[in-house]
């Protein structure tokens, strides 16, 4: 078996396992927007691909120098047919990290069946949530608790409406997500990020925006379709609408829309175990799948904790919530480019 650098990962037998986050269209989009180098490797045996790995190299003055699969996503960018291919690719990632003096390597994938190789550390702190959409909406509703069904029904009586679209919904989708992220104390990308993403992914991407009874934006999301799965990349509701069950309305509307379009699985995206999002997503009776994140650490470096539970970020989060829009809108993309 040999490991080769690849200009592109054009291997149909492996690409579905990579998820959309690992595909060339996604990696090229991130590279062209933020300038992060992409390193691609393929494991070949008799010219047959048995594994593939795409790594984004991030070098940021605040968040450090590291390599990661699945930039801005839950998992993907690492696929293999056997453990030999896996281990050879993992060795190549470690070799690359040493050559470029990276602080660590983060491999995000959804295989928890085996421990990481020697020298790597598993750090499973996220779930993803998979809803089986094979049932009709009415049958799916029966799987939920009585309280959750009641909340969904209440949301449908609050006068909310929803629109699905592409670039025609760009401005509203951006406002919905950027405002909600500000309320949560997190930086967000620019409008250009969403526009370029839509251009690169084409009709596999769909925006959804919800509005209250007066036409005010109440929430929105970005959803990506691959095969018969719909992935939730971003989905948030604004604080003023939460007590009216705007989150239940948004998710239920997306579920109905996905069933009508023939999708069989809804991946709700990752959330930190024990977080509020974990609790909310668990109400939808999903299969909760732990994500296996492996890390290689350079000598003297600790496991990174680039998430909202890190005590070091609490003051920054509280401060960010209070900053005005004219400061956070230009500064947010500069910060978040280092938080892949």
Q: Verify that 298 and 173 share a domain, yes or no.
A: no
Express each pLDDT in 31-62 by its tens digit. Answer: 999 999 999 999 998 888 889 999 999 999 99
Residue 337 lies inside a defined structural domain of this protein:
no
- Of 264, 289, 314, which one is at a domain's C-terminal end? 289
Residue 318 lies inside a defined structural domain of this protein:
no
Count CA within 13 A, CB hemisphere, residue 306: 18
Say how many domains are in the chain: 2
* Residue with the larger pLDDT of the pair 168 and 13: 168
Express each pLDDT in 141-157 by its tens digit. Answer: 999 999 999 999 999 99
Residue 314 lies inside a defined structural domain of this protein:
no
3-state secondary structure of 131: strand
Count CA within 13 A, CB hemisphere, residue 47: 0
What's the whole-model pTM score? Answer: 0.92
Return the pLDDT at 147: 98
Return the pLDDT at 175: 98
Q: Verify that 169 and 284 share a domain, yes or no.
A: yes
Q: Verify that 135 and 278 share a domain, yes or no.
A: yes
Q: Verify that 278 and 140 share a domain, yes or no.
A: yes
Q: Verify that 25 and 62 share a domain, yes or no.
A: yes
Residue 321 lies inside a defined structural domain of this protein:
no
Please give the residue range of the domain that contains residue 165: 128-289
CATH number at 37 reads 3.40.630.30
Residue 24 lies inside a defined structural domain of this protein:
yes
Q: Verify that 16 and 105 share a domain, yes or no.
A: yes
Where are the strands (E) in 61-134, listed by range?
Answer: 64-68, 78-80, 104-109, 121-122, 126-132
Q: Verify that 109 and 151 share a domain, yes or no.
A: no
| Packed helices 246-260 and 146-155: angle between N→C axes, nearest 10 degrees | 90
Residue 329 lies inside a defined structural domain of this protein:
no
Q: Verify that 176 and 267 share a domain, yes or no.
A: yes
């Amino acid at each position: 078996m040999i490991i080769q650098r690849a200009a592109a990962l054009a291997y149909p037998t492996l690409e579905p396992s990579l998820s959309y986050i690992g595909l060339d269209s996604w990696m090229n989009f991130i590279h062209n927007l933020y300038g992060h180098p992409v390193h691609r490797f393929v494991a070949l045996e008799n010219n047959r691909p048995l594994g593939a790995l795409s790594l984004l190299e991030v070098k940021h003055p605040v968040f450090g120098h590291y390599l990661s699969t699945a930039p801005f996503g839950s998992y993907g960018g690492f696929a293999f047919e056997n453990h030999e291919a896996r281990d050879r690719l993992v060795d190549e990632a470690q070799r690359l990290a040493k050559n470029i003096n990276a602080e660590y390597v983060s491999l995000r994938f959804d295989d928890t069946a085996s421990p990481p190789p020697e020298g790597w550390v598993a750090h499973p702190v996220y779930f993803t949530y998979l809803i089986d959409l094979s049932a009709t909406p009415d049958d799916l509703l029966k799987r939920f608790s009585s309280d959750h069904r009641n909340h969904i029904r209440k949301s449908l009586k609050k006068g909310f409406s929803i629109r699905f679209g592409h670039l025609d919904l760009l401005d509203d989708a951006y406002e919905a997500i950027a405002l909600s992220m500000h309320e949560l104390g997190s930086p967000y990308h620019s409008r250009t990020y969403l526009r370029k993403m839509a251009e690169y992914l084409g009709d596999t991407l769909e925006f959804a925006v919800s509005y209250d009874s007066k036409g005010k934006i109440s929430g929105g999301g970005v959803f990506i379709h691959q095969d018969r799965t719909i992935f939730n990349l971003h989905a948030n509701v604004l604080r003023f609408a939460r007590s009216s069950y705007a989150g239940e309305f948004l998710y239920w509307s997306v579920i109905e829309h996905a069933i009508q379009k023939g999708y069989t699985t809804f991946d709700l995206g990752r959330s930190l175990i024990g977080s509020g999002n974990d609790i909310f997503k668990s109400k939808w009776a999903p299969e909760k799948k732990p994500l296996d994140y492996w890390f290689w650490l350079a000598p003297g470096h600790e496991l990174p904790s680039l998430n909202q539970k890190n005590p070091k970020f609490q003051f920054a989060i509280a401060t960010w919530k209070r900053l005005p829009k004219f400061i956070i809108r230009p500064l947010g993309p500069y910060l978040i480019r280092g938080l892949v």
